[in-house]
Amino acid sequence: MRRTSIELADGRELIYFDERDDAVREGPDRRDLPEPPPASQLRYDPLVDEWVAVAAHRQTRIFLPPSDKCPLCPSTPTRSTEIPAYDYDVAVFENRFPSLSDRAGEPPGQVTPFTASRPGAGRCEVVCFTADHDASFATLPPARVRTVLDALADRTDALAALPGVEQVFCFENRGVEIGVTLHHPHGQIYAYPFVPPRTRAMLAAAGRYADRTGGRNLYADVLAAERSAGVRVVADNEHWTAYVPAAARWPFEVHLAPHRPVPDIPALGDAERAAFGPLYLDVLGRFDRLFDLPMPYIAAWHQAPVHTGRELSHLHLQVFSIRRAADKLKFLAGSESAMGVFINDIAPERAAELLRQAG
């Protein structure tokens, strides 16, 4: 894989990850762009011990443009996009409308005596999986999935080394039902300046389990139990298992986990990286065949934080959809949105059975 870093017209970084060693991607960004926005503001919610990002500049970001105005397609001689090259394999760049950034923002302060504020330091990046606007992750060849995975490993290492970053989160939103603002196949990476609530909850549970069991890894034992039971396993190979969690929150939710406990994507070995793509493409194909419709989903990589809880963590990819039937979506209503108590309309065992049948 060839890695080429360039600077866009407004100073943001773009990195090409090419599958050919002879690829030349050093063309300049011909646009006249304004300075990137300052960092957002983080506000502390004392009632739940969580940080909320206030990023008003994101209101002006591009929303579902037609294909001939897509900012993630390659540039052409007559139109410049976020990608200066006329073709690319995988490209990663700093988001033009970031929720978090390393640029100067408002100094720390107090909104109320109970609500502290500070700059939304960190970084947000966009990961373009392919130059083909009409593709999807499910249609990528396994070799391209490997390139994407290697790019995520590269960016995880780089962002984890930035001052103040506490966790690196890689994810993909797919489908207008999920809320995507661009149709082009892409994902995102957030480098948070704090450990997010979901990770804190998972680490707390894993820590309690380790204390009770003499240091055993909770996720590794849950994975072993799912593999032994088999009823919720959708597919597997030598290095990975894809299964529906026994307490799945979403109508169709699958975890893809490596059999070897590793903290993050960079820790995956060559054989594990090679084995991931075929299994993940299999799962995404099942999602799309389930209702003969493109399945809206979120694919979220759960990695260890940068500085804490790494020995308690077990890397896994959580893929879930809000579609519960061909003509029905699951909306987060009162119990889920207000209280965080999920009510699933489809039994996990039935979801796994349907996904196996869609193979």
pLDDT in tens, 170-200: 999 999 999 999 999 999 999 999 999 999 9
Q: How does pLDDT run across 278-295, given as a tens digit for each residue?
A: 999 999 999 999 999 999
Name the pLDDT band for 27 (thresholds 50, 70, 90).
confident
* Interior/surface letters 278-300, b for 16+ CB within 10 angstroms, e for the rest: ebbbbbbebbbebbeeebbbbbb
What lies within 8 Å, CB to CB, of 59 at 6+ separation is none
* Predicted pLDDT at 25: 86
Q: How does pLDDT run across 77-136, given as a tens digit for each residue?
A: 999 999 999 999 999 999 999 999 999 889 999 999 999 999 999 999 999 999 999 999
Name the pLDDT band for 263 (thresholds 50, 70, 90).
very high
* Predicted pLDDT at 164: 96
Q: Alpha-carbon dihedral of residues 293, 298, 302, 305, nearest 10 degrees?
A: 160
Name the pLDDT band for 338 (thresholds 50, 70, 90).
very high
Which residue from 60, 59, 42 is spatially nearest to 51, judged by alpha carbons? 42
3-class DSSP string for 215-268: CCCHHHHHHHHHHHHCCCEEEECCCEEEECCCCCCCCEEEEEEECCCCCCHHHC
Name the pLDDT band for 18 (thresholds 50, 70, 90).
very high
Q: How does pLDDT run across 48-69, given as a tens digit for each residue?
A: 999 999 999 999 999 999 999 9
Would you say residue 334 has pLDDT above 80? Answer: yes
Active-site positions read: 186
Would you say residue 229 has pLDDT above 90? Answer: yes
Q: How does pLDDT run across 218-227, given as a tens digit for each residue?
A: 999 999 999 9
Calculate mean pLDDT across residues 308-334: 97
* Predicted pLDDT at 283: 98
* Predicted pLDDT at 325: 97
* Predicted pLDDT at 158: 98
Would you say residue 26 has pLDDT above 80? Answer: no
Q: What is the residue-averaged pLDDT of the chain?
A: 97
Q: Which domains does the chain have, with CATH numbers?
A: 2-194 (3.30.428.10), 198-357 (3.30.428.10)
Name the pLDDT band for 305 (thresholds 50, 70, 90).
very high
* Predicted pLDDT at 294: 97
Calculate mean pLDDT across residues 3-24: 96
Answer whether 315's CB lies under 8 Å from 337's CB: no
Q: Is 19 exposed, middle or buried (0-12, 13-18, 19+ CB in 10 A)?
A: middle
Other C-beta atoms closer than 10 Å to the C-beta of 325 total 12
